[in-house]
């Protein structure tokens, strides 16, 4: 094999990882899997895709080695094969934010609130939590909370938020987080809380990024 061929072939291999993340639906799946294991039908529901199509994308991700599959009973549970994938998603996000005007247009348009809703950096949340100054709420679905969350956070899925308003302190800031910086759950939660007169802010990004940055987490035993 010539050096020329080697170079081409090795870059073609790297490109296989690129191909895996070259499709928006697959990126959605990866973000969901970053919250924890999920089976095919659940993933299909959450992405509003047909089961067959979801399965096809998952096969694709599996062949790139980005996800693992394990059969438990009748279900096939998929999971990320490596924490590094959270880094990959983060870099893609940052580069898209920096380089694609379209991204900022979308954010402005859908999340108009962005300006007066400056998100809270991770490090700041750690400090305030230590000082006992905040209530942290995890607004993801219960199953995702169960498979891992920020210590001290209470789980209130967005759909349940209305029922729990009376439990929140009015003299303390409430910090909401969800799946990631562009997941709309926390945005919506903060909006609801603010409309009701609470002091609410959004964490700068979601649980996977928190965990990935080495900060402490509460997880149920693996298995």
Partner DNA sequence: CTATTATTAAACGAATTCATTGAATAACAA
Partner DNA sequence: TTGTTATTCAATGAATTCGTTTAATAATAG
128 CB-side CA count, 13 A: 17
Which region, judged by CB under 7 A, interacts with DNA, from 33-41, 109-117, 129-137, 206-214?
33-41
Total residues in contact with DNA, by rule CB under 7 A: 25
Interaction with a second copy in 133-162: which residues (CB under 8 A)? none
- Interaction of residue 52 with a second copy, rule CB under 8 A: no
32, 58, 89, 178: the catalytic one is: 178
Within 8 A by CB and 6+ apart from 205, the residues are 119, 122, 177, 180, 181
Say whether 82 sits in a helix, a strand or coil.
coil
Nearest to 210 by CA among 183, 187, 177, 184: 177
Rounded distance between C-alpha atoms, residue 117 and residue 187, angstroms: 9
In angstroms, what CA-CA distances link 175 with 134, 141, 187? Answer: 7, 17, 11
User: Is position 47 annotated as part of the catalytic site?
Assistant: no
- Interaction of residue 211 with DNA, rule CB under 7 A: no
In the chain, DSSP finds a helix count (H) and a strand count (E) of 10, 7
- Interaction of residue 75 with DNA, rule CB under 7 A: yes
Contact set with DNA (CB under 7 A): 19, 22-23, 25, 39-41, 49-53, 55-60, 69, 71, 73-77
Catalytic residue ranges: 178
- For a second copy, the binding residues (CB under 8 A) are 1, 3-4, 6-28, 31, 48, 64-66, 81-82, 84-85, 87-89, 91-96, 98-100, 102-103, 106-107, 109-110, 182-184, 188
């Amino acid at each position: 094999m010539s050096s020329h061929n080697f170079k081409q072939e090795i870059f073609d291999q790297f490109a296989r990882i690129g191909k895996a993340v070259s499709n928006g639906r697959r990126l959605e799946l990866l973000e969901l899997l970053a919250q924890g294991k999920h089976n095919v039908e659940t993933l299909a529901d959450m992405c509003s895709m047909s089961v067959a199509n979801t399965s096809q994308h998952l096969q694709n991700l599996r062949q790139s080695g980005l996800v693992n599959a394990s059969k438990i009973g009748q279900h096939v549970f998929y999971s990320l094969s490596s924490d590094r994938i959270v880094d990959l998603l983060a870099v893609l996000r940052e580069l898209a934010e920096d380089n694609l005007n379209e991204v900022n247009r979308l954010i402005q348009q859908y999340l108009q609130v962005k300006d007066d809703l400056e998100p809270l950096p991770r490090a700041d949340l750690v400090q305030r939590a230590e000082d006992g100054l905040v209530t942290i709420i995890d607004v993801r679905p219960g199953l995702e909370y169960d498979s891992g969350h920020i210590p001290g956070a209470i789980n209130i899925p967005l759909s349940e938020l209305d029922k729990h308003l009376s439990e929140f302190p009015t003299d303390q800031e409430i910090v909401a987080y969800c799946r990631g910086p562009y997941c709309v759950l926390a945005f919506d939660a903060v909006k609801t809380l603010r409309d009701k007169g609470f002091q609410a802010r959004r964490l700068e990004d979601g649980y996977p990024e928190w965990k990935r940055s080495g900060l402490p987490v509460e997880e149920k035993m693996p298995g």
